[in-house]
């Protein structure tokens, strides 16, 4: 999906509304206006508010899942590769894709059933992480730690300054390598 694509513009506009104005202000009319398309143009791509939020979640998860998989495939060390890929991509997501995190917030608030793709992906990732050659409990703790960082940044709960954040990332990655022989 390119940045000039109408669907992409609508998703970004919807995410911006959630981020700046709040979830309750996300309407089809507001998203169409912000994206610079007619309501009919928006309805062509997203026939309902649920479909729009579903599109926001799918867009985020598709990119996120592809990046984690690619990171695991490119890791030269078998032990801990899924855990490292998850940690690295989650760190990247928490800074680079804040507007699309709005889709997760909107889904949770408006229709939690729209989180099913996220739940399914997490189940798959947890399975990979538990069978990653690391102690499964350690790997799970590392996943939960990086998720906690992501959620603290989404909600502005004492987010870390850049240097501390970098050191946390390095330590989490180090913990995936300390068990290697």
Domains in the chain, please, with CATH? 49-177 (1.10.357.10)
Distance CA 176, CA 4 (A): 40
Determine the pLDDT at residue 36: 95
Q: Which element (helix H / strand E) includes 107?
A: helix 98-110
Determine the pLDDT at residue 124: 93
Looking up tokens 């999906």 gives 1
Determine the pLDDT at residue 179: 55
pTM to 2 decimal places: 0.82
The set of residues, in sequence order, having a beta carbon less than 8 Å from that of 56 and lying 6+ positions away, is 11, 14, 15, 100, 102, 103, 106, 107
Q: What is the DSSP string of 77-106?
A: -STTHHHHHHHHHHHHHHHH-HHHHHHHHH
User: How far from 89 is each of 13, 45, 80, 163, 176, CA to CA, in Å?
Assistant: 24, 28, 14, 18, 15
Distance CA 76, CA 120 (A): 27
Render pLDDT for 50-77 as a digit per residue (tens, 0 to 9).
999 999 888 888 888 899 999 999 999 9
Determine the pLDDT at residue 181: 43
Determine the pLDDT at residue 126: 94
The set of residues, in sequence order, having a beta carbon less than 8 Å from that of 177 and lying 6+ positions away, is 77, 79, 80
- Tell me how many degrees the CA angle 79-90-164 measures, rounded to the nearest 5: 95
The set of residues, in sequence order, having a beta carbon less than 8 Å from that of 107 and lying 6+ positions away, is 53, 54, 56, 57, 114, 115, 118
């Amino acid at each position: 999906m390119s940045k000039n694509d109408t669907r992409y513009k609508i998703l970004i506009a919807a995410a911006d509304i959630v981020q700046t104005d709040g979830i309750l202000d996300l309407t089809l009319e507001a998203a169409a206006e912000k994206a610079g398309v007619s309501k009919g143009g928006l309805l062509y791509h997203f026939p309902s508010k649920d479909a729009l939020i579903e599109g926001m979640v799918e867009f985020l998860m598709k990119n996120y899942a592809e990046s984690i998989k690619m990171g695991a495939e490119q890791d030269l060390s078998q032990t801990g590769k899924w855990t490292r890929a998850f940690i690295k991509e989650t760190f990247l997501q928490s800074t680079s894709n804040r507007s699309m995190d709005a889709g997760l917030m909107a889904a949770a608030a408006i229709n939690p059933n729209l989180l099913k793709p996220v739940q399914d992906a997490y189940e798959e990732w947890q399975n990979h992480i538990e069978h990653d050659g690391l102690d499964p409990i350690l790997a799970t703790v590392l996943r939960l730690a990086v998720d906690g960082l992501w959620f603290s940044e989404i909600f502005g709960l004492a987010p870390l300054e850049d240097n501390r954040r970098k050191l946390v990332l390095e330590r989490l990655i180090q913990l995936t390598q300390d068990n290697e022989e």
